[in-house]
Amino acid sequence: PIDAISQPLAGTRFPDAIAFTPDGQYLLSADEGELSLTGGRGFSVWTLDGKFVWDDGGEIERRASELGLYPDERSAIRGIEIEGITAARFGARDYAFAVSERGSFVAIYDISNPLAPEFVQILPTGTGPESVIAIPKRNLLVVATEKSGTLTIIGHVADAN
């Protein structure tokens, strides 16, 4: 919005969940974007001493829109609301999994290089995901959804070779 410049918290991330990278060297935040202002609607990477390293720069919202998963009516009020995040190693690669409460999907990023995460894909979930857990030993990802009251179980998360 035009008035965002005059708002002291415009673009603030407002993390709703955090996770460590699989090697424990970086912190990931699920940036819900709690205010009715731009910014803070994806996920970020931080050093362990709190220095900002990277964020998706709106990529998750853009890709959700391309796939028809973006809730247009929420643009002015928090957008997709990234609500939960986890990270895990599957095979030789590290991944971040960020769930969108209002878009009802999980965004998957390759974070093998946490300084430059790479988008992998977006997968739909039940309605209103709140949390996510990775189970690498079973090659699974499980998403808990508040609104539909379901679990979405995603198998074959990555090639284990």
| pLDDT in the model for residue 81 | 87
Q: Please state which of the ranges 6-10, 71-75, 101-105, 106-110 shows the lowest mean pLDDT.
A: 6-10
Q: Inform me whether the pLDDT recorded for 161 exceeds 50.
A: no
Q: Give pTM, 2 decimals.
A: 0.88
The overall average pLDDT reported for the chain is 87
| pLDDT in the model for residue 159 | 55
More confident residue, 34 or 119: 119
Q: Read out DSSP for the chain? A: -GGGGG-TTTT---EEEEEE-TTSSEEEEEE---SSSSS--SEEEEETTS-EEEE-TTHHHHHHHHTT---GGGTTTTTT-EEEEEEEEETTEEEEEEEETTTTEEEEEE-SSTTS-EEEEEEE-SSSEEEEEEEGGGTEEEEEETTTTEEEEEE--S---
For 67-104, write each residue's pLDDT tens digit: 998 887 777 667 788 999 999 999 999 999 999 998 99
For 128-148, write each residue's pLDDT tens digit: 999 999 999 999 999 999 999
